[in-house]
């Protein structure tokens, strides 16, 4: 049984005439008759009584007409849904991002996307880089956004923005008043770090290793940028944070950015390499590209 056969059956039933139904559907009379006959033969049932030049529904045909109309209505609803998804009028886009990206970078773009596509439901999960990439690999989310470049057989990674980093200390820290700071000055110093799996922590550890510096002690290991920032303001040690996180505190003088060269890092979009990219995901990445 096909949708086309159902359409033909409904037209014949409503008009009670094969020729008139053929004209309505722009089909030949033989094609119309064959479709009805195929239904009757396939299901071993008589749908019409032939009365002279006209036809009339049998009891089975009358009962089947309601079902046929319901099936076509559902098919049309499904087609409309696909049209809506294609046109971004309906749908859902699940995002996951590491903390700096989620709290400071993505919200303006999420707002712009929603203004353009109010029918798309946006969700955002916040986790560290390792967890975000795992969610993408497991297809738990459509797109991930992380700070550091990552690798994975199932991942496709694209740099979408640059992020400036600062090595910061509290206003009373011994290095806060220095006009020049070298890696030697960092040797043996106390550091505040994010948890293992954090992109920011990975970059800090890589920078220290590149300078040949071993931190004297990690005084605190904290699960959020805001907690790290507050600890550094309180004098707990040195840490590495995005300018997005500390710009206001640097302007206010509660944090000081040490004058030392740091590598630039990127913000990266991550998606599943073998999964079809939805129109909504492509549209969101287009918004990110516009802003950056």
Predicted pLDDT of residue 151? 72
pTM here is 0.68
Q: Are 147 and 267 in contact (CB under 8 A)?
A: yes
Average pLDDT over residues 186-206: 89
Round to whole Å and give the CA distance between 122 and 114: 8
Pick the CATH number of 165-263 from 2.40.50.40, 1.10.10.10, 3.40.190.10, 3.40.50.880: 3.40.190.10
- Whole-number Å distance between alpha carbons of 235 and 187: 17
Mean pLDDT of 60-80: 83
Reduced to 3 DSSP states, what percent helix, strand and coil does the chain have, rounded to the nearest 5? Answer: 50, 25, 30
Angle CA(86)–CA(90)–CA(91) in degrees, nearest 5?
A: 90
- Look-up: residue for tokens 């795992």? 134
Q: For residue 24, what pLDDT is reported?
A: 86
Q: Give residue-wise pLDDT tens across range 11-56.
A: 888 888 888 888 888 888 888 889 889 888 888 889 888 877 778 8
Kindly list the domain boundaries of the chain, sorted by start residue: 3-86, 91-162+266-291, 165-263
- Position 80 scores a pLDDT of 60
* The predicted structure's pLDDT at residue 84: 64
Report whether pLDDT(140) > 80: yes
> Quick one: pLDDT at residue 49?
86
Q: Do domains 3-86 and 91-162+266-291 have the same CATH topology?
A: no
- Domain 91-162+266-291 listed as CATH 3.40.190.10: yes
Helix (H) / strand (E) element for 94: namely strand 91-97
Percent of the chain with pLDDT over 90: 44
What would the two tokens of residue 66 be? 């309601």
d(CA 101, CA 106): 6
Domain 3-86 has CATH 1.10.10.10: yes
Cα 46 to its chain centre, rounded Å, is: 52
- As given in the structure block, the two tokens for residue 276 are 């079809």
Q: Give me the mean pLDDT over the 262-285 stretch.
A: 88
Whether residue 98 contacts residue 203, with contact meaning beta carbons closer than 8 Å, is answered with no
- The phi and psi torsions of 173 (rounded to 5 degrees) equal -65, 145
Average pLDDT along the chain = 89
Backbone angles phi, psi at 67, to 5 degrees: -65, -40
């Amino acid at each position: 049984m096909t949708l086309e056969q159902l359409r033909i059956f409904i037209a014949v039933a409503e008009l009670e005439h094969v020729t008139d139904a053929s004209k309505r559907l722009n089909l030949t009379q033989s094609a119309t008759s064959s479709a009805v006959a195929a239904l009757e033969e396939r299901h071993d049932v008589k749908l019409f009584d032939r009365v002279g030049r006209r036809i009339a529904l049998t009891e089975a045909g009358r009962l089947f007409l309601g079902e046929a109309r319901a099936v076509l209505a559902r098919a049309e609803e499904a087609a409309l849904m696909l049209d809506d998804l294609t046109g971004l009028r309906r749908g859902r886009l699940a995002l996951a991002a590491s903390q700096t990206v989620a709290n400071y970078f993505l919200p303006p773009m999420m707002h712009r996307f929603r203004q353009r596509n109010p029918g798309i439901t946006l969700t955002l999960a916040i986790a560290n880089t390792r967890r975000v990439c795992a969610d993408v690999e497991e297809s738990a989310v459509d797109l991930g956004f992380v700070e550091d470049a990552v690798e994975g057989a199932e991942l496709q990674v694209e740099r979408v923005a640059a992020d400036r980093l600062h090595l910061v200390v509290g206003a009373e820290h011994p290095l806060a008043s220095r006009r020049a700071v070298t890696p030697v000055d960092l040797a043996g110093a106390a550091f505040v770090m994010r948890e293992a799996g954090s992109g920011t922590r990975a970059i800090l550890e890589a920078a220290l290793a590149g300078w040949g510096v071993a931190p004297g002690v990690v005084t605190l290991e904290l699960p959020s940028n805001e907690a790290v920032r507050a600890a550094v303001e309180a004098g707990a040690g040195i840490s590495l944070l995005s300018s997005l996180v500390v710009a206001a505190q640097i302007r206010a003088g509660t944090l000081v950015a040490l004058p030392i060269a740091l590598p630039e890092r990127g913000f990266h979009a991550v998606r599943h390499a073998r999964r079809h990219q939805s129109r909504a995901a492509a549209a969101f990445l287009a918004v990110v590209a516009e802003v950056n």
